[in-house]
């Protein structure tokens, strides 16, 4: 398991692995929004929690097809499927690697992007906390979407249609926590719901993703 994790991390961080692409995309989203809605600080700080969460969600989506597609093409996914490690474990490890190279950097760097959008001061810790709690669910659900569409030509577009509706509950609770933090209200309730969704997703989605992978490898 550790070997697989290290291999995936190496593949993602070396040249052509697309590491940092998600962060760059997040930066572009945060740059474009003020052009769209106007540079007025008050308006920006009002919509900042939502924009930051939607931006994080889209940047996460961007690199999802890499979770399985390359391994599917060169056949190493077949080897992983016949390896002694259960396919559910493989899926969970690959989703974890995806989180380490996209979700974690996004959560840690989000305060910088918050500055760009005039996020109100008290919201910063909650922004990081909600992204830390929520992005693992995004990676895991994304792994499910990638597993369903791995065998398809031009599966990327279809995958976003399948995955984005699944992101709705995570987005609602994540953005709500930041919004409450910004307003000075108590953000613990949405954070608890967010943690519940993430834990349930981590527990159940690997089985669905592995079932889909087995169908696609048949």
Partner 1 sequence: MSIWEYANPVKFMRTSGAVLPWVAAAAAVCTVAGLVWGFLTPQDYKQGSTVKIIFLHVPAALMAINIWLMMLVTSLIWLVRRHHVSALAAKAAAPVGAVMTLIALITGAIWGQPMWGTWWEWDPRLTSFLILFLFYLGYMALWGAVENPDSAADLTGVLCLVGSVFALLSRYAVNFWNQGLHQGASLSMAPGERMSAVYRYPLYLTMAGFFLLFLALLLVRTRTEIRRRRLAALLARENRA
Q: 18 or 151, CB closer to partner 1?
A: 151
| CA 82 – CA 92 distance, rounded (Å) | 16
The stretch among 16-24, 67-75, 111-119, 169-177 that binds partner 1 (CB under 8 A) is 169-177
Residue of 54, 58, 172, 183 interacting with partner 1 (CB under 8 A): 172
CA 185 → CA 68, 73, 177, 188, 189, distances in Å?
A: 41, 49, 9, 9, 10
Contact status: 144 vs partner 1 (CB under 8 A): yes
Distance spanning both ends of the chain, measured CA to CA: 23
134-165 core/surface letters (b: 16 or more CB in 10 A; e: else): bbbbbbbbbbbbbbbbbbeeebeeebbebbee
The stretch among 6-14, 33-41, 122-130, 146-154 that binds partner 1 (CB under 8 A) is 146-154
Q: 9 or 172, CB closer to partner 1?
A: 172
| CA 159 – CA 150 distance, rounded (Å) | 9
Q: 34 or 151, CB closer to partner 1?
A: 151
Residues 173 and 197: beta-carbon distance below 8 Å? yes
Residue of 149, 177, 178, 181 interacting with partner 1 (CB under 8 A): 149
Residue of 70, 168, 192, 199 interacting with partner 1 (CB under 8 A): 168
Smallest gap from Cβ 151 to partner 1, in A, equals 8
Please report the beta strands in 89-136, taking only residues with DSSP state E, as ranges in sequence order.
none
Residue of 79, 83, 161, 203 interacting with partner 1 (CB under 8 A): 161
Contact status: 205 vs partner 1 (CB under 8 A): yes
Residue of 68, 191, 193, 195 interacting with partner 1 (CB under 8 A): 193
Contact status: 16 vs partner 1 (CB under 8 A): no
Per-position DSSP letters for 33-46, written without gaps between them: HHHHH-S-HHHHHH
Contact status: 126 vs partner 1 (CB under 8 A): no
∠ CA(30), CA(39), CA(42), 5° rounding?
A: 95
Smallest gap from Cβ 207 to partner 1, in A, equals 10
Residues 80 and 88: beta-carbon distance below 8 Å? no
Binding site for partner 1 (CB under 8 A): 144, 148-149, 151-152, 155, 158, 161-162, 164-166, 168-169, 172-173, 176, 190, 193, 197, 204-205, 208, 211-212, 215-216, 218
């Amino acid at each position: 398991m550790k070997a697989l994790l290290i291999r995936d991390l190496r593949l993602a961080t070396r040249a052509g692995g697309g590491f940092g692409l998600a962060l760059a995309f997040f930066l572009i989203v945060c740059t474009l929004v003020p052009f769209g809605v106007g540079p007025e600080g008050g308006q920006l700080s009002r919509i900042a929690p939502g924009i930051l969460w939607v931006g994080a969600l889209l940047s996460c989506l961007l690199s999802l097809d890499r979770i399985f597609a390359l391994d599917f093409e060169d056949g190493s996914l077949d080897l992983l499927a016949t390896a002694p490690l259960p396919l559910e474990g493989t899926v969970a490890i690959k989703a974890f690697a995806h989180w380490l190279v996209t979700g974690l950097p996004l959560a840690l760097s989000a305060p910088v992007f918050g500055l760009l959008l005039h996020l109100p001061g008290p919201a910063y810790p909650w922004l990081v906390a909600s992204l830390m709690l929520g992005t693992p669910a995004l990676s895991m659900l994304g792994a499910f979407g990638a597993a369903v569409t791995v065998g398809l030509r031009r599966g990327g577009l279809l995958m976003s249609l399948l995955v984005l509706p699944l992101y709705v509950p995570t987005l609602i609770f994540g953005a709500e926590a930041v919004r409450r933090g910004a307003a000075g209200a108590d953000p613990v309730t949405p954070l608890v719901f967010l943690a519940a969704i993430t834990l349930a997703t981590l527990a159940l989605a690997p089985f669905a993703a592995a079932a889909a992978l087995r169908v696609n490898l048949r």
